[in-house]
């Protein structure tokens, strides 16, 4: 497939009639739309011509915005003269937290969408409008898009102010791929960051009761309830069954929520041992290694296999029949890894078809939150998506500079801020806010970043048991969970929240300084 080349100058797409009206065909495979142009499918290269920027400035770009493939993938702006924003030095982590098959350590490049910050302050964005595992990269005078498979829906090329251009891109994606269907989440409590896998039905019941009269929309049971990852039945610590736990949560007036990872299984699960033919295969032989966790590797289910499709339908319908109305679907990226499947379809197509099945099996009113989810192929099917790495209970643990997907409050905040534009596609979940001073190394100021980010994003969640909080912390939690924050954006990283100025720029600068040190260390 030949790469198409187009040129941008200070007035727009020079070779495609920039003065034409919106929704007008202005060239071969180019349609003018508000704030940009829609381009036909296929590989494309955008050349940034020299002068003629605003006020006569040279248009050469200074920074590149990298779109990450899944929830945890490195995402955000990076200077073009520094190391690319990516996961350095950890191949196993890259397999889990980015599109390892297309990793490019020698250039600034990411998945789905990319943008250049031009010298005159405007942003030039190139974003895919469909599937095909699209990649977008950038340099000082060029922006390019490639597709792994030719089953996409073309590109949006936008030029203008950053927020306006990203918002317009979201509108076009939503028009093509659809919108959420379940009632949105206002507030949520989950078990993960307080108890991790060490949970049982008594702990969940006590935590739900401990919330008292706090207005918590969803109470979600996280990992640890299941027998083993891959076999989605209650383990020994939930002897009454999961329907009983769902009923306990519903009795306090909250939507019951449940964590599961329906597209993966551990090697010791019955799913893997009894049905090896259900697993995506590695071209080199044997089941594909989809990632590493739980002190093991794990496999990916081949969702093109008819028996796996029936299995998925059964799993989702069963957990919904227990009474759960919010499903946190984790490690979803495994459904879109390259490998050998029963049916030879493009990998992002296989993933989206699996998500469509899950959506139908769950029903339109069950809230589906994706975690580790491929961002663009999930649009229109997931109601919410995690948009950054785990916050954990530390701000910047060792390794979090070389690995922007590494857990930690700073990495979680930086990635989530870069994806706030996705609020036009689904609810964006920046992960939990911390109010407790115990079992965390974060300072009060660092914890406040997470609290403010939750208010700005519109997805307020926590994992703090009320019993762990002193009186001041309990009061702060109550303020967090009540009311509807009034948020106004006043700059790229600056907001006014309920009349108070919130500036996230220091967090973004701190993350950038870490990358600068990495660039220096690499020479």
> By the 8 A CB rule, do 87 and 80 touch?
no
| Residue 395: both structure tokens together | 């701000």
Angle between helix axes 444-457 and 471-481 (nearest 10 degrees) is 20
* CB of 424 closer than 8 Å to CB of 458: no
Pairing of strands 367-370, 326-329: parallel
pLDDT reported for residue 518: 57
Asked if the model's pLDDT at residue 53 lies above 60, the reply is no
Residue 2 has pLDDT above 90, yes or no: no
For residue 453, the number of C-alpha atoms closer than 13 Å in the C-beta half-sphere is 35
Q: Where are the domains of the chain?
A: 4-67+112-177
Q: 505-522 vs 409-418: helix axis angle to the nearest 10? A: 110
User: d(Cα 94, Cα 214) in Å, to the nearest integer?
Assistant: 39
Q: CA-based angle 296:297:302, to the nearest 5? A: 140
| Residue 19: band (very low, low, confident or very high) from pLDDT cuts 50, 70, 90 | very low
Q: Is the dihedral of CA 405, 72, 172, 111 positive or negative?
A: positive
Cβ-based neighbour number of residue 62 at 10 Å: 14
Rounded Cα distance between 408 and 52, Å, is 43
User: How long, in residues, is the chain?
Assistant: 523
How many C-beta neighbours within 10 Å does residue 397 have?
Answer: 15
Higher pLDDT, 9 or 459: 459
Has residue 26 got a pLDDT over 80?
Answer: no
Mean of the pLDDT values across residues 31-49? 94
The alpha carbon of residue 460 and the mean position of all alpha carbons in its chain are separated, in whole angstroms, by 16
- Residue 300 region by backbone torsions, left for phi larger than 0, else alpha for psi between -120 and 50, else beta: beta
User: Could you tell me where the beta strands, DSSP code E, fall in 352-499?
Assistant: 367-370, 384-386, 427-429, 460-462, 487-491, 494-497
Contacts of 210 by beta carbon, 8 Å cutoff, 6+ apart: 465, 466, 467
259 SS3 class: strand
Greater model confidence, 200 or 518? 200
pLDDT in tens, 348-386: 999 999 999 999 999 999 999 999 999 999 999 999 999
- Calculate the average pLDDT of the chain: 93
Rounded average pLDDT over 157-173: 97
- In angstroms, the CA 485 to CA 479 distance is 10
Weakest mean pLDDT among 16-25, 299-308, 405-414: 16-25
Phi, psi of 100 (to 5 degrees): -60, -30
Please check the confidence at residue 201 and state whether its pLDDT lies above 80.
yes
d(CA 13, CA 48): 9
pLDDT of 18 = 40
Q: What does the pLDDT read at residue 234?
A: 98
Q: Over 86-129, what HEC string results?
A: CCCCCHHHHHHHCCHHHCCCCCEEEECEEEEECCCCCEEEEEEC
Contact in structure between 251 and 219 (CB atoms under 8 Å): no
**Contact (Cβ atoms closer than 8 angstroms) between residue 8 and residue 48:** yes
Record the tokens describing residue 227, joined without a space: 């027998």
Q: Which residue has the higher pLDDT, 239 or 393?
A: 239
∠ CA 184-185-186, nearest 5°, is 115
What sign does the CA torsion over 368, 372, 267, 239 have?
negative
Alpha helices in 297-393 (DSSP H): 306-321, 347-362
For residue 56, give the DSSP letter: G
Which sign does the torsion angle of CA 362, 368, 374, 379 carry? positive
Question: Residue 56: pLDDT band by 50, 70, 90 thresholds?
Answer: low
The phi-psi region of residue 108 (left if phi > 0; otherwise alpha if psi is between -120 and 50; otherwise beta) is beta
Residues 6+ apart with CB under 8 A from 163: 421, 489, 492
**Residue 21 confidence (pLDDT):** 52
Taking the C-alpha atoms of residue 46 and residue 68, their distance in angstroms, rounded to an integer, is 20
Q: Is 311 left (phi over 0), alpha (psi -120 to 50) or beta?
A: alpha
Residue 201 parent element (H or E): helix 201-210
Map residue 404 onto helix, strand or coil.
coil
Could you report the per-residue pLDDT of 434-466, keeping only the tens digit for each?
999 999 999 999 999 999 999 999 999 999 999
Give exposure, 218-248, as e/b (b: 16+ Cβ within 10 Å). bbbbbbbbbebbbbbebbebbeeebbebbeb
pLDDT of residue 17: 43
Percent of the chain beyond pLDDT 70?
Answer: 94
Within 10 angstroms of residue 206's Cβ, the number of other Cβ atoms is: 13
Structure tokens at 348: 């992002």
At residue 372, what are phi and psi to the nearest 5 degrees? 60, 30
In this predicted structure, the answer to whether residue 293 has a pLDDT above a threshold of 80 is yes
Residue 433 CA to chain centroid, in angstroms?
17
Q: What is the residue whose two structure tokens read 């590493």? A: 292
Mean local confidence (pLDDT), 205-211: 97
| Average of per-residue pLDDT across 416-431 | 97
Q: Kindly state the average pLDDT of the residues 322-347.
A: 98
């Amino acid at each position: 497939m030949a790469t198409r080349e187009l040129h941008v100058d200070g007035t727009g797409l020079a070779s495609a009639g920039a003065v034409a009206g919106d929704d007008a065909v202005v060239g071969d495979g180019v349609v003018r739309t508000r704030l940009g142009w829609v381009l036909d499918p296929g590989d494309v290269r955008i050349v940034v011509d020299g002068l003629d920027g605003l006020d006569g400035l040279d248009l050469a770009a200074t920074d590149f915005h990298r779109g990450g493939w899944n929830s945890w993938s490195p995402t955000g702006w990076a200077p073009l003269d520094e190391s690319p924003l990516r996961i350095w030095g950890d191949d196993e982590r890259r397999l889990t937290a980015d599109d390892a098959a297309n990793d490019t350590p020698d250039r600034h490049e990411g998945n789905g969408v990319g943008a250049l910050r031009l010298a005159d302050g405007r942003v030039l964005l190139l974003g895919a409008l469909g599937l095909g595992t699209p990649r977008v990269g950038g340099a000082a005078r060029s922006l390019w898009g490639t597709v792994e498979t030719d089953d996409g829906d073309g590109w949006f090329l936008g030029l203008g102010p950053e927020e306006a251009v990203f918002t317009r891109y979201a509108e076009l994606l939503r028009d093509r791929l659809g919108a959420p269907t379940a009632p949105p989440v206002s507030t949520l409590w989950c078990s993960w960051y307080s108890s991790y896998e060490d949970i049982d039905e008594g702990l969940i019941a006590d935590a739900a009761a401990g919330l008292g009269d706090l207005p918590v929309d969803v109470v979600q049971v996280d990992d640890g309830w299941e027998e083993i990852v891959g076999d989605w039945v209650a383990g020994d610590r939930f002897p009454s069954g999961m329907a009983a736990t769902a009923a306990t949560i519903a009795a306090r007036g909250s939507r019951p929520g449940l964590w599961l990872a329906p597209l993966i299984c551990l090697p010791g699960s019955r799913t893997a041992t009894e049905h090896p033919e259900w697993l995506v295969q590695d071209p080199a032989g044997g089941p594909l290694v989809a990632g590493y966790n739980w002190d093991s590797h794990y496999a990916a289910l081949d969702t093109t296999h008819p028996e796996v499709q029936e299995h998925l339908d059964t799993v989702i319908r069963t957990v919904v029949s227990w009474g759960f109305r919010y499903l946190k679907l984790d490690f979803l990226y495994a459904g879109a890894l390259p490998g050998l499947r029963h049916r030879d379809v493009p990998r992002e197509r296989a993933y989206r078809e699996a998500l469509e099945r899950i959506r139908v099996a769950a029903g339109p009113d069950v809230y589906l939150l994706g975690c580790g989810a491929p961002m663009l192929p999930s649009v229109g099917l997931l109601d919410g998506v995690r948009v950054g790495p785990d916050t954990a209970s530390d701000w910047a643990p060792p390794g979090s500079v070389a690995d922007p997907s590494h857990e930690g409050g700073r990495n979680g905040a930086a990635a989530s801020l870069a994806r706030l534009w996705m609020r036009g596609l689904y609810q964006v979940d920046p992960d939990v806010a911390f109010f407790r001073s115990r079992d965390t190394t974060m300072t009060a100021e660092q914890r406040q970043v997470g609290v403010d980010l939750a208010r700005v994003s519109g997805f307020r969640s926590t994992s703090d048991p009320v019993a762990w909080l002193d009186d001041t912390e309990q009061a702060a939690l109550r303020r967090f969970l009540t009311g509807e924050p009034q948020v106004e954006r006043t700059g790229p990283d600056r907001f006014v929240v309920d009349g108070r100025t919130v500036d996230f720029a220091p967090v973004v600068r701190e993350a950038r300084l870490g990358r600068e040190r990495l660039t220096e260390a690499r020479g």
